[in-house]
């Protein structure tokens, strides 16, 4: 019978292990062969019968039976978003400010604040302002604080067009949202059309904490936006 048993030893350190090593005694366990398929089937059938007959012993017996067919191991890979590449750069930009939005399926929003770019040699501090129009799976309005960490220079990833993928969770009295920022395709305003090639790329992450009204406890939004920046340091 195959099984998986995990044993965890706690409270050991170099001192108490060394103190007990001189008194250690090597022991061997008698060799034995594993039961065959017929024996294993008989054991399982007998244990299942006891479990049905005794409700008090059933939980313990079923735990033992589960060792005979342990669950398969599972592996989760975190930090990957499909096949969309993530921007790699030694530069970064941090933006913090105020944001407000409202909408029912179609949403509009605006934001403003300050940013810092680790520009060589002393960094750059400036102001930013943004306008957005997008789609949201909710009806509501809110305003509050916004924070973003972008993976490149401020003129490259903060200024200009960007797409925010956002998930909001209503935790009264506030709504908390997580964001992923992607590069936006080059488009003409009118008539709407692509004006060049586009390779989506993740260029930052962010979060918002707002207060307002919301019809649903959880919502998803896809919001293209345009941002302008104004440096205030050399």
Each residue's pLDDT tens digit, 31-85: 555 556 665 666 666 667 666 766 766 777 666 666 555 554 444 444 444 578 8
Contact, 92 vs 150, CB < 8 A? yes
CATH number, residue 200: 2.40.128
Contact, 144 vs 208, CB < 8 A? yes
> Do residues 219 and 150 share a domain?
yes
> Do residues 154 and 193 share a domain?
yes
Say how far residue 189 (Cα) sits from the centre of its chain.
Answer: 34
Q: How many Å is the Cα radius of gyration of the chain?
A: 30
Give Cβ neighbours of residue 86 (< 8 Å, ≥ 6 apart): 151, 201, 202
> Do residues 193 and 126 share a domain?
yes
Contact, 119 vs 102, CB < 8 A? no
How many residues are recorded in the chain?
A: 234
- Residue 19 domain flag: no
> Do residues 62 and 98 share a domain?
no
- Residue 82 domain flag: no
Task: Give the residue numbers spanning the domain of 226.
Answer: 93-231
**What pLDDT does residue 51 have?**
67
Positions in the chain whose pLDDT score sits under 50: 1-5, 7, 9, 17, 21, 24, 72-81
> Do residues 136 and 209 share a domain?
yes
Domain tally, the chain: 2
User: Can you give the pTM of this predicted structure?
Assistant: 0.62
> Do residues 97 and 139 share a domain?
yes
CA distances from 86 to 80, 143, 186, 202, 205 (A): 9, 29, 19, 5, 11
> Do residues 120 and 163 share a domain?
yes
> Do residues 64 and 147 share a domain?
no
- Residue 102 domain flag: yes
- Domain edge (last residue) among 72, 101, 131: 72
Question: In the chain, what is the straight-line distance between the N-terminal and C-terminal CA atoms, in Å?
Answer: 72
> Do residues 124 and 64 share a domain?
no
> Do residues 123 and 195 share a domain?
yes
């Amino acid at each position: 019978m195959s099984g998986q048993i995990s044993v965890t030893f706690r409270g050991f350190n170099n001192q108490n292990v060394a103190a007990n090593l001189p008194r250690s005694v090597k022991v061997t366990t008698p060799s034995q062969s594993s039961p065959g398929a017929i024996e294993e089937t008989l054991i399982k059938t007998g244990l299942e019968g006891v479990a049905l007959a005794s409700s008090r012993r059933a939980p313990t017996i079923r735990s033992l039976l589960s060792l005979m067919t342990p669950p398969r191991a599972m592996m989760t890979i975190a930090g990957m978003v499909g096949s969309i590449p993530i921007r790699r750069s030694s530069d970064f930009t941090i933006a913090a400010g105020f944001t407000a939005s409202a909408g029912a399926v179609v949403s509009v929003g605006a934001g403003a604040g300050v940013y810092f770019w680790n520009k060589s040699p002393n960094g750059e501090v400036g102001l930013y302002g943004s306008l957005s129009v997008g789609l949201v799976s909710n009806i509501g309005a809110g305003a509050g604080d916004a924070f973003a960490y972008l993976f490149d220079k401020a003129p490259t990833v903060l200024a200009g067009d960007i797409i925010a993928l956002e998930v909001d969770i209503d935790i009264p009295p506030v709504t908390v949202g997580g964001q992923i920022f992607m590069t936006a395709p080059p488009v003409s305003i009118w008539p709407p059309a692509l004006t060049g090639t586009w390779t989506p790329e993740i260029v930052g992450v962010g979060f918002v904490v707002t207060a307002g009204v919301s019809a649903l406890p959880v919502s998803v939004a896809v919001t293209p936006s345009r941002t302008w920046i104004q440096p205030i340091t050399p």
